[in-house]
Amino acid sequence: MVYSLNRHLFAALKCLSHEEFRSGTDIAAQLGVSRATLFNALKDGGRLGIQIYKVHGRGYRLAAPLDWLDYGGVMRTLGASAKYFNLEIVDVSVSTNTAMMERASSGLPSGAVLAAEYQSEGRGRRGRRWFAPLCGGLTFSLLWRFNQGAAQLSCLSLAVGVAVARALHELGVLDAQLKWPNDILHHYHKLGGILIELSGDVLGPTLAVIGVGVNVRIDEATLSRIDQATTDLASVLDELPSRSVLLGQLLLHLSRILPRFETEGFEPFRAEWLAHHAYQNRSVRMLLPRNAVEEGVVTGIADDGSLLIDRHGGTKRYTVGEISLIATP
């Protein structure tokens, strides 16, 4: 749990390099703590899957580099679009969506972004856990305020999916696809996900907390905790972008799609979403509550974001939160 981690852990880790050893005396002096305190802090790194070499007389060294988020790197990637966002980067959060929902009640404007190096209780759709090692995934939440009511935002996760797909394609993940309603795939392995949470009046305005998670570099220990086929950017790209560049690209494309979605709805993005849908025109098996199973062919998306399935010559709608989608053999 996040609250039991040593409070000096992240500061200590940021002092380490994977390229050379650094003495404990120097690190402790930089942090203003004792060597014993430093030793105890770095012991907690193992709980987060971080391997640290310790050699007597030489000090400490990371076994592998940690790709920390860099505020300046994100802003440079955003360029002129940086003006739309107020970014905060934290070392650790129970869940960025949970934290952003709490902060939204204080009147934060659209464009507030919370990104965490590590989530202790990351959340996915339908109550699932979201697992990512320290600096091994990108997890952030964006607050966006809409004038419409929640009913008019039923396709928001689909529009966000288009933004994520655009960013990944631009970074070289040309085979990135979407899975209704909120998954990002690569060759039918989960690469990322989207979690939308809404709050507001029936007729508006509505605040949306848009959570996005992308697997960047996932270790075997983390993979063993995930109950579905999963992949990461390190496995599909020859040249891995920094997490800062990835965050900047995702925010850049969100800044282009969200204002248009508010004024024009999902229709301008429908064809693009369908072109990226991994299950479009595919035979599928639908897993419903109480273990019910239905089969059919995916034909499209309804105006309210429901998935359209052709079954025995008739079309049936499936709504968000009721089903799982699995490709048939």
pLDDT of 264: 96
Is residue 215 within 8 Å of 230, Cβ to Cβ?
Answer: yes
Does 11 have pLDDT greater than 70?
yes
pLDDT of 321: 39
Does 30 have pLDDT greater than 60?
yes
Domain boundaries, the chain: 2-62, 71-276, 283-327
Cα 221 from chain centroid (whole Å): 19
Lowest mean pLDDT among 90-99, 223-232, 317-326: 317-326
d(CA 281, CA 328): 12
pLDDT of 191: 96
Q: What is the average per-residue pLDDT within 56-71?
A: 95
d(CA 178, CA 156): 14
Model confidence pLDDT, tens digit, residues 140-153? 999 999 999 999 99
Q: What is the average per-residue pLDDT within 158-172?
A: 98
pLDDT of 204: 87
Q: What is the average per-residue pLDDT within 220-224?
A: 76
Order of strands across the sheet that contains 283-287: 314-318, 307-311, 293-301, 283-287, 324-327
pLDDT of 3: 45
pLDDT band at 126 (very low <50, low <70, confident <90, very high): low
pLDDT of 322: 54
d(CA 309, CA 183): 18
Domains 2-62 and 71-276 share a fold: no
- For the domain made up of 283-327, the CATH class stated in words is mainly beta
pLDDT band at 326 (very low <50, low <70, confident <90, very high): low
| DSSP conformational letter for 8 | T
pLDDT of 1: 42
Q: Which residues of 155-173 are buried (b: 16+ CB within 10 A; e: fewer)?
A: bbbbbbbbbbbbbbeebeb
pLDDT of 85: 98
Does 128 have pLDDT greater than 70?
no
d(CA 279, CA 294): 15
Q: Which H/E stretch holds residue 9?
A: helix 9-13
From the candidate CATH numbers 2.40.160.100, 3.40.50.1860, 3.30.465.10, 1.10.10.10, the one assigned to the domain spanning 2-62 = 1.10.10.10
pLDDT of 228: 82
pLDDT of 127: 56
Q: What is the average per-residue pLDDT within 3-11?
A: 83
Strand, coil or helix: 255: helix
d(CA 181, CA 230): 17
Q: What is the average per-residue pLDDT within 92-99?
A: 92
Model confidence pLDDT, tens digit, residues 236-268? 999 999 999 999 999 999 999 999 999 999 999
Give ∠ CA 92-99-117 in degrees, rounded to 5: 25
Strand, coil or helix: 283: strand
d(CA 131, CA 118): 10
Average pLDDT taken over every residue of the chain: 91
pLDDT of 122: 61
Q: What is the average per-residue pLDDT within 204-230?
A: 88
Q: What is the average per-residue pLDDT within 282-288?
A: 86
What is the architecture of the domain spanning 71-276? 2-Layer Sandwich (3.30)
pTM for this entry: 0.92
Does 206 have pLDDT greater than 50?
yes
Q: What is the average per-residue pLDDT within 293-308?
A: 93
pLDDT of 324: 59
